């Protein structure tokens, strides 16, 4: 007798709704001929952004050297380029042996947590979060404990709440700066306070800095590695966002701080890296050129630049709305938009997102996808041209207006 094949129970509490039910419905609609404006994922290549030509050429010229497996940690030129970036930031106690190259930051998040966690260990993760962090903790037997970064604090971490969540089972704290999904950029004072807590309680610091340098106006990106002295710090970054090369699947994590006390852990991570043999070799040849070459991102994030002007279009769209509010993002490529529940009583982010998709063919990510306990936010990427964003907010306003009591 045939029986149904069921999924592993380990997936019971795992969510990644950015590519979930809504995205599947959008895909089905596209197959039926609808044109969908997909704002659920930060994927620069889909919006006309190009990887810098020098990176493409570096990959092409080194294809003959890319046909064999490389070292499990990655090719030396790529790892050494990451070391040089850290040294430029004042971090001197790192070598290429402390750098691991992965198939994007996503793979490295999984590997670093798998090497660290025992069943029931806790990891502090921001709320809102990038949900892969929560999912990876869960999949590796840990417990994700979310520290609030509420709208009332401009999406900055609530340091008192964070401190109160530390227990004897807490192993690590995750920092996402510049933040996805909110675009918040943390001040030096906030980061120093978070590092002090981590050092006081011997917590590993995992700093997700995939949007490093993608900041606007007077916001300043502060790398966390130079601030960490008395605990282990892993800094994550890669080619996907700043260098618009998502499909290359190249990310890295570099460790500093108390590396000498983390020998066992780093050996474990090396074992896991060996088990997957190596990461994508051709894409790794772009790392040295990316980090050492002309930083074309700067053209995109200043006034007149495409990302800057699209961000301004989001701000204008919210300002003109009768129903929305926004803490203008200081960094990254997203806006976390709030709905005014006084004017929209009963607003539900999932229902709104589905209705917006069905009626106006716009795909957004509901805010509750990012592990928050409120349901009146949604995330959009700011990657489209400003004129597209203008159109999007007109469509959003139509949907919201259908559900609002008379103003």
Tens of pLDDT along 328-349? 999 999 999 999 999 999 899 9
Please indicate, yes or no, whether residues 117 and 89 belong to a single structural domain of this protein.
Answer: yes
Of 292, 321, 339, the position where a domain reaches its end is 292
Q: Give the confidence band of 293 by pLDDT, cuts at 50, 70, 90.
A: confident
pLDDT in tens, 106-154: 999 999 999 999 999 999 999 999 999 999 999 999 999 999 999 999 9
Domain count, the chain: 2
Please indicate, yes or no, whether residues 255 and 198 belong to a single structural domain of this protein.
Answer: yes
Is 205 part of any domain? yes
Is 2 part of any domain? no
Please indicate, yes or no, whether residues 83 and 154 belong to a single structural domain of this protein.
Answer: yes
> Tokens 């088990």 identify what position?
275
Identify the sign of the CA torsion 316, 319, 323, 327.
positive
Of 238, 259, 292, the position where a domain reaches its end is 292
> Tokens 């892969």 identify what position?
132
Range of the domain at 341: 9-50+299-403
Please indicate, yes or no, whether residues 254 and 323 belong to a single structural domain of this protein.
Answer: no
Please indicate, yes or no, whether residues 181 and 129 belong to a single structural domain of this protein.
Answer: yes
The Cα–Cα gap between 85 and 107 comes to 22
Please indicate, yes or no, whether residues 214 and 110 belong to a single structural domain of this protein.
Answer: yes
Is 162 part of any domain? yes
The Cα–Cα gap between 155 and 128 comes to 8
Please indicate, yes or no, whether residues 166 and 239 belong to a single structural domain of this protein.
Answer: yes
User: Nearest CA to 319 among 234, 253, 216, 393?
Assistant: 393
Helix (H) or strand (E) holding 188: helix 188-200
Of 261, 292, 323, the position where a domain reaches its end is 292
Please indicate, yes or no, whether residues 32 and 62 belong to a single structural domain of this protein.
Answer: no
The Cα–Cα gap between 256 and 246 comes to 26
Is 3 part of any domain? no
Q: Tell me how far apart the terminal alpha carbons of the chain are, to the nearest angstrom.
A: 61
Please indicate, yes or no, whether residues 31 and 57 belong to a single structural domain of this protein.
Answer: no
The Cα–Cα gap between 307 and 127 comes to 25
Distance between alpha carbon 110 and the CA centroid of its chain, in Å? 14
% of residues, the chain, pLDDT over 70: 97
Burial class (CB in 10 A: 0-12, 13-18, 19+), 63: exposed
Please indicate, yes or no, whether residues 114 and 211 belong to a single structural domain of this protein.
Answer: yes
Q: Running DSSP on this structure, what letter comes out for residue 153?
A: G
Read off the CATH number of the domain in which 356 is found: 3.90.1150.10
Q: Which two tokens stand for residue 144?
A: 């994700």
Q: Give the confidence band of 1 by pLDDT, cuts at 50, 70, 90.
A: low
Q: Give the confidence band of 180 by pLDDT, cuts at 50, 70, 90.
A: very high
Please indicate, yes or no, whether residues 205 and 73 belong to a single structural domain of this protein.
Answer: yes
Please indicate, yes or no, whether residues 106 and 185 belong to a single structural domain of this protein.
Answer: yes
φ, ψ for residue 50, nearest 5 deg? -115, 145
Read off the CATH number of the domain in which 64 is found: 3.40.640.10
């Amino acid at each position: 007798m045939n029986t149904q094949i069921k999924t592993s129970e380990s997936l019971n509490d795992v969510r990644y709704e950015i590519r979930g039910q809504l995205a599947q419905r959008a895909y089905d609609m596209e197959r039926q001929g609808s044109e969908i404006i997909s704002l659920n994922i930060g994927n620069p290549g889909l919006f006309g952004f190009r990887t810098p030509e020098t990176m493409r050429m570096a990959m092409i010229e080194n294809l003959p050297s890319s046909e064999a497996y490389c070292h499990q940690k990655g090719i030396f030129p790529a790892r050494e380029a990451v070391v040089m970036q850290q040294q430029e930031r004042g971090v001197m106690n790192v070598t290429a042996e402390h750098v691991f190259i992965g198939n994007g930051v996503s793979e490295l998040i999984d590997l670093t947590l798998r090497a660290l966690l025992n069943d029931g260990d806790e990891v502090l993760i921001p709320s809102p979060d990038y949900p892969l962090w929560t999912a990876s903790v869960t999949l590796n037997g840990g417990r994700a404990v979310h520290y609030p970064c509420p709208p009332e604090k401009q999406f900055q971490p609530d340091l008192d709440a964070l401190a109160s969540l530390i227990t004897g089972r807490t192993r690590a704290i995750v920092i996402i700066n510049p933040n996805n999904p909110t675009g918040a950029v943390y001040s030096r004072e906030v980061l120093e306070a978070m590092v002090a807590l981590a050092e006081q309680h011997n917590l590993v610091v995992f700093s997700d800095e995939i949007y490093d340098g993608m900041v606007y106006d007077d916001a300043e990106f502060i790398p966390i590695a130079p601030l960490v002295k008395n605990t282990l710090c892993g800094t994550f970054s890669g080619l996907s966002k700043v260098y618009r090369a998502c499909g290359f699947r190249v990310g890295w994590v570099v460790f500093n701080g108390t590396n000498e006390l983390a020998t066992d852990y780093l050996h474990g991570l090396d074992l896991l890296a060996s088990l997957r043999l190596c990461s994508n070799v051709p894409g790794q040849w772009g790392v040295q050129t990316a980090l050492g070459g002309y930083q074309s991102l700067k053209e995109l994030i200043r006034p007149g630049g495409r990302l800057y002007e699209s961000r301004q279009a989001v701000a204008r769209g919210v300002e003109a709305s009768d129903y929305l509010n926004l803490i203008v993002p200081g960094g990254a490529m997203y806006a976390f938009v709030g709905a005014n529940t006084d004017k929209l009583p009963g607003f539900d982010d999932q229902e709104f997102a589905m209705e917006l998709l069905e009626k106006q063919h716009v795909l957004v990510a509901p805010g509750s996808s990012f592990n928050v306990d409120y349901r009146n936010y949604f995330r959009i990427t700011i990657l489209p041209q400003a004129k597209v964003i203008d159109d999007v907010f007109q469509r959003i306003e139509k949907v919201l207006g259908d559900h609002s009591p008379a103003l």
